[in-house]
Each structure stands twice: as C-alpha cells, then as structure tokens.
Structure 1
Amino acid sequence: MSDPKQRSVLSRIVAAHLRGGTDVAALEPGLQTGLTRAIRRASLPYAVLAPQVEDAAVTSGASLQDALDTMPEQGLTAAVEDAEGRRGLVALDHPLVDALIEVQATGEVEKTNHPARKVTRIDEALCRDFLDLVLAAFAQETAGQAGRDWPDRMRYGSIITERAQLNLLMPERGYRVLRTSVTMGGHKTGDLVLVLPSDPAIARRGGSVEQPSAPAEAPKGWGDRMLGAISTAPMALDAVLMRTIMPLGKVEDLAQGDLVPFDHNDLSAISLEDEIGHVFARGALGQVSGRRAVRFGDGEGAQPAPAKPPSLVSGPAEAPAAARPPQNGTPPTPAKPGPAPVPPQKPAAAPAAFDPDAPMGDFDPDAPMGGFDPDAPMEEFDPNAAIG
C-alpha cells in the first residue's frame, strides 16, 4: 500500500493540474442542468415516478477519496466506463432503489420507507436500465458544452458490492462529482451521485474522443459496379408467337395432329416476355442463314400482350352448343374431332377493330336460355365421371 501522505500530495497535484486546464465556474451550470434533465428523461418510461430533482452540487477537481466520500452509505453503487476505459461511478440511495423496484413490481411507489438492505443482483437488474438511460441522456444534454473534459458517453458496467474494492478499481486522478437529491413518486427521497473522470486532454481537443461519425459516402463508380454485377444474373425469357382463347371443352379434346390456325399478321407480332408476362420487346418472325429468327423492332411495349379473339381448332364442323338442347338436364358432350384435320385454305382476314359503341344486332338479354330450368331436380352427381 502507498503512503497516505504521498497519495494526498498526488491528489493535490492532479487537482491543481485540472483547475488550470478548465474554467470550473463556467461548467457548473451546464452540468447541473444536464443532470436534472437527464434524470427526468430517464424517468419517462416509468410514468408514476415523476421525479422532483434539486439542483446538483458539483465538485470539480475532486480526488478519488473526496469522490468516494460523497457516495451514499446504503444503496446501489456501480462502475461506469467509456469506450477508452476511463472509469467513473454512479450511485443510488436505497430509497431510490426501492422506488424503482416498486414501480416495476406494483406499478406505483409505496408511501412507506423500508429499512436499508443489501442490494441483490435482481435489484441491480431492475435499476440498471434506469441508470443507463440517465447516462445516455446526460451525454446528449452536455454534448455541446464548451470546455468539457469528461467523456461524453459513459456506460453502465457492473455493481460494486464491497466499498473496499473502490480504491483498487478506480485510478487516482481528478474527478467531477455531481450529487443531487431526487424524490420519486412523491414518497421516496434519496441521493443520486455521478462521478466522472476529468481528462484535460479531452478539453484541449475540444470535446470527447467519441465524435459522431459522418455518414460514409458511396464510393465513386458504385452504381456502375452494382449494375455490372446485376447484369450478369440469368433471366428466363419467352418468345411468344400468339395468344388465343378456347372453350375448356376444346382444350380437353386437343389431340396430336390438331391444328391451331393463325394468320400472317401473327408472324409480325412476336413478343419477348419474362415469367410474369412483362413485354420487353416486340418483333417479327423470319429467317437468317436458314434458321428461324426474330427481328425486334424499336422495343415498344411495356404492357402484357393482349389476348387474341377466340380461335377454334380446325376439324369437322359441328353445331353450336346453344343449338343442341340439353338431354335430361345434363350439359351436351362435345363431338370428337375427325380422323384427319383439315388445313386452312387461305389466311383469314385480320379482325376488324373493336367498337364498344357498335349496335349489338339481334342480341336480346331477356331471351330464354334454351330450355334451362334452374328449378329442375339435379340428377345424381358422379365426381369420378370422365369429363367430355
């Protein structure tokens, strides 16, 4: 152990060095206001706390022993630390510990003051979030203060159960001590103490080492490199010759050798589409070097290709479905295609443009539906019967 007299001399040297580096009187108002506002902000998640905070007593250039003498005899004492390992202390008097436990356990602060007891790990867990909120809010409140010589962000470390450990844990240097009286919930009153390490080097640099980093700018050419990486990804495309609409019965009757006719105009309306039907280009079907090829036009089209009017499969002519009366209330069975398909004799003329205002001819929306009786009894339904 070192000689107490020698440590006292060292403390005075450190304190004198600290006083020469900063204007103590100019810092005190900012520290007092910062701690008061920090406690109130940290209490917001605990609605019923409504803390009443007195002006903090600020001690600048305190030695380690002077700082330890300000700590409450009972309650929670914990170490705090910044990113570079500078250590400080935070302490809650036992009535404040009880208030934080009660408000989280029962939703209110009890009027009765309980006798002091040893703080457990569970007590620490219930107080830790509040103390870390105080430290974070204090850092924000004092971040822009001129002449600041303490780290701007101290973080909660761990509880210190034996006060004798403080002399071994904390280095001998200058400290700023903030002590204030807080009343929580209108019933529990105790001291909150914050001990901050003083470092003249921080004041000479104009603030804390921890400066908020500016958003990193995107490197030059980033967009081109990203586009180059994406452009190598595979993409499935389909060259669509035509689209047609058929009755379900026709589709089910399709067999090998049946023909689906199309005209010459379809050869000039090829579309290049992706899997969801988005059209990337349009072109015409032709040949090059004896092989089929598609020549794309000016790339018009960003809409799905329109469906063509209904087209019938070539085969023997049959009566329209509406002309065949239903038998026994069951739908008619489509006729089977003939043995040999009949190829189209000549290309059909292009369909006329659709006019939504054209007269509808002899169409009568009130005409009977060909003998269909919706009230007729349904015959026994067989779900396994063949369709068609």
Structure 2
Amino acid sequence: MGQDEQADAMSDADQKNVKRRLAGEGRPPPEIGRMTPELALKLALARACETSVALEVFAQSVEMRRLVLSTLVEELPENALVTLLQGPKNQMGLVLLDAQALAGVIEKQTTGRVVPNPAAERAPTRTDAVMCADLIDDILRAFHAEGEDAGLPGAANWHGFKYVMPLEDARAIQMTMEDIPYRLFDVHLDMEKGAKQGRIWLMFPFEPPQSAPAPSAGDAEEDGALAEVVQGAETRLEAVLHRLEMPLSQVTALEVGSLLPIPSKMIMQIQLEDILGEKVCHGALGGKAGHRALRINLSASEPDVPDPVNALSDGNLSSDPGLFPQKSEQPALGGLPVAPGLAGAGDGDMAALPDLPDLPPLDPAEAGAGIGDLPALEAVGDLPDLSDLASLGGHD
C-alpha cells in the first residue's frame, strides 16, 4: 500500500472516531433522577392544577419535614385557608393555602386568569373552601398515584385522604387534630408564569397505624410458644356511647355544663373499639354491684335494639338480677276475688266465655214500672197578694 493510500485510510478512521466521540459512544448512560416524595408532589401539583382548574403551576421548591401539632400552630400563616382531611382508620390531615395561593385559584375559576399582582389580605370564607375542595382532592389523588407508580415506599402514608371541611382557626386545629408527629410538605408555588407566588402545605400522620401481617405456616410453632405470653398482655378497648356530628361553630362554643343530645336507644348499642378504631363487639349499658357496667354481645351482627323504656320487660336485661338492680323489694299482691259467673276468665281463653242474652225492647209506658207512685205534695194554701209596686220607683 502506498503512502497516499495509508494517509486516506487513517483519515477515514480518524473521522469515524470523531463521530463516535461526538455521539457519546463509550460514555456511561446519563443518570435518571431518582423519584422522591418531593418530586412526586411537584408533578402531582402541576398535573392536578392543570386538569382541575386549568391553572399553570410550577413548584419552585418542596420541603418535607417532621413536626408536631403545636409547631404547626405557631407557624400558621395569617389568613390561610385551612382544610381538614380524613383518611383510613379515621386519621386526620390538613391542606393549607396561603392568601396568595388561594387568590390565584379563586381568580382562575371566576375570571379565567390570575391577576399579576399580589392579592389583598383577607380572611378566607366557606365559599373559598367549597371552590377549592375538588382541586384539593385531585391533588391528593395525583400525589398518591405519582408515588405509587414510582414505587415509593411511603406512598401509602398519604393514600385515601379526602377533603372534609374547612377549619376556622388555630384553636379549631388543636381541638380536631390529634397531637402526634406529622409529615409536612411545604411547597412554594409559581402561578401562571409569575403572576402570583404562593405556598401550599400538605400534612399527614408521620407513622400511620399498620395492620399486623398474617403469620406464615412456618411461624406456627413460634406462635404457639408465645401464645401464653400474648394472652396475658394488656390491651385497651374504648366504649363508644354515641358519635355526634355538629357544626364547628357549636363545637367551639362548648363549655362546662353544655348538653349534647344522645338518643335513648344508644344505651342498648354501645360499641367497643380497639386502639385502631375497629369495631370489636357491642354491649348494653347498665350497672353491676353499684358500678357502671357493659353487658357484652360477642355476636358479629348488629344487636336488636329494644325500646329502652321497656327494656326491663323484654327479657333482654332482667335475666341478670345484678344488672339494673331494683331499689326495694315490693310485697306480692294477694289474689283478687273471682267475679260471679266469670270463673276461668283469667285463663286467657276469651272464646270460651258465654254469650250475653239480648236486651228486651224498651216501652216508654213501662219505663216507670216497678218504681211506684210518688207521694202527694202537701197543701201550701193561698198565697197573699203582692203589694203595690209604686214604692219601687216605677213610673206610670
């Protein structure tokens, strides 16, 4: 091969190597960003706001942290819309929108655009909460879907939560929410390409209660060895007399001495629940040896609820002499005399009684028969004439 041919071959090889290097051949594949709860919430907010209210939202930053209820109350922004969430096993959560985020959502739904100016501070109303309810539910569903699709292990922590109602202030939060650790997502939002800047908070229980896994067949021997110890462990049941729903305004107005209406039939259908709120059995409220007591019904079916006024005569509670004890012993009443001609009438066979004879027709002429003549009236004599009436002041 001549020198010219060698030079041409080297030139072709160099060109191929350059093309390979430009194409990235030999380099490791670019690293794909790992899905996190913060990223899942960013995607969920953008998707839910677009599909629900056609609002363009970009989450500039998302911070996830653990906090207790008292810390949230201290950091609660003024004029924020606070909404209550309810999840599985009666868990509670919150979604909060500050004044600017709330204004952007309301403006988009009412005018079709977000006014590119900061909104005036005002207290949120119930109408604001109603207009945000569907959007909040869409955000919660999208957040769980993003986490579940990415296989996030904590996605179950915010699964099944839904909007319930607005809360008026920090006091209502403390009265409604349980003081346990919570997981808070603090999001800074850009709305409609900088028209407004706002914040939204999502809060869920940090460690929601988990159901115990079913034991496998291989654990049978170990379970048998621990059975005696477990049976001696202390457990806690709560007797629930009645659950009452009432407006938040009435709840915040409660004070010592306030009366709550409870149906009388509830004393016959007390519910016993475990620490997770699961119904275990039913019971009837009564007394035993001078103390309050519950008569347990282990049947899984709903109890038949008798009339509480007649409960003692139904045989439901009177079979236990210690339950609802009588104040004093009453002497037995003696037997009543039997009316003539009605012997055996108390046996309950009404058909065996004889028929009464027909009454004879009533004759007015004979109506007084048998009464006898009345005695004659004594002679009174002639009455004197009346005196002249002129003295009474009469006129001619």
Compute the TM-score of the two structures, normalised by the length of structure 1.
Answer: 0.43
